[in-house]
Amino acid sequence: MPAVKASRPLQACAAVCLLVSTVLLSSAGRSAAMAAEPSGAAMRALIVDGQNNHANWPQTTRMMRKYLEDSGLFAVDVVTHAAKGEDPAFQPAFADYAVVVSNFGHGAAAWPAETRKAFEDYVRGGGGFVAVHAADNSFPEWAAYNQMIGLGGWGGRNEKSGPYVYYTDEGRLVRDTSPGAGGAHGPQAEFAVVIRDGSHPITKGMPGTWMHANDELYDSLRGPADNLQVLATAYSIRTKRHEPMMMTISYGQGRVFHTPMGHGNDSQECVGFITALQRGAAWAATGTTDLPLPADFPTADGPRRRKFAPTSSPAGVPATAK
């Protein structure tokens, strides 16, 4: 049978299709490279707050904003929800930011339905998210949010919410489905943070054990715990378990960094917390971070704190510890 020769219209169509495919693949490659290796320009970060059972939340928002800006990586905006009840006007433009940090807390009112969907789409589509301390108390009925944070506490969370996750004394990671309430803590105190994965960009170079400043040590958190990696733990004298203190979670194409640390102003003055926040936000935004470990990072011998002030030294520059 003689060969069939393609018509000119078909040849033209094939050429156009090939060109479009090449452009799309090239564009996707450039986008991925830009996400992994941000340019020298500051990335945009957003802190959301407004309802938190911790009365000091306005101060901790200011502290975290300064810490992120001190890293040299971020330009930070803040969007504040109405102080009481639901807020139909709470509609942050999540898509405009590389990472969103939540400083919400226990008892926060549900976000508007369209805002919840926009946030889910943002993280699922590749946006970064950081949950700090009582942010894991928020929104117990919001299924997607609980998947994002991996583990949460209070608000009626129980065995239906998912397993407890912790390490044993023998170093075994446990997903415990036994019945019980989610979320508790003992008296505030200094405690040792133990690194469980020192190869991750967030924890790379950190001492295997370092002391965290006075804080609430959350225990008995539970949730879906899907695609969750525990980076560091602390031993709870209440549960006799090694409870997660730094976690990463994958949600769709998005990256989530979750730390239950950061209760008080003194807790957030800890250089360990500051470094975890900076590195965690950078990793959530880009998938990597090369922020150096500061010279005043805490050791196993004791915590190191930087007294917060709007004019405090940039991260990585030793400041007076107390």
Instruction: Quick: pLDDT tens for 280-321.
Output: 999 999 999 999 999 999 999 999 999 998 654 443 333 333
Q: Where do the H-state alpha helices sit in 152-270?
A: 265-268
Instruction: Quick: pLDDT tens for 227-237.
Output: 999 999 999 99
Structure confidence at residue 123 (pLDDT): 98
Instruction: Quick: pLDDT tens for 217-228.
Output: 999 999 999 999
**CA 7 to the chain's CA centroid:** 56
Nearest to 178 by CA among 163, 189, 156, 196: 163
Nearest to 245 by CA among 181, 167, 308: 167
CA 62 to CA 277: how far, in whole Å?
A: 13
Share of the chain above pLDDT 70, in %: 84
Buried-state track 94-131, b at ≥16 Cβ within 10 A, e below 16: beebbbbbbbbbbebbebeeebeebbbebbeebbbbbb
Structure tokens at 321: 């510890």
Structure confidence at residue 82 (pLDDT): 97
Q: What is the mean pLDDT of residues 77-105?
A: 98
Predicted confidence band at 10 (pLDDT cuts at 50, 70, 90)? very low
Structure tokens at 103: 């400083």
Domains of the chain: 42-286 (3.40.50.880)
Instruction: Quick: pLDDT tens for 138-189.
Output: 999 999 999 999 999 999 999 999 999 999 999 999 999 999 999 999 999 9
Instruction: Quick: pLDDT tens for 233-260.
Output: 999 999 999 999 999 999 999 999 999 9
**CA 140 to the chain's CA centroid:** 17
> What single-letter DSSP state applies at residue 181?
-
Q: What is the mean pLDDT of residues 267-276?
A: 98
Residue 164: which region, alpha, beta or left (left: phi > 0; alpha: psi -120 to 50)? beta
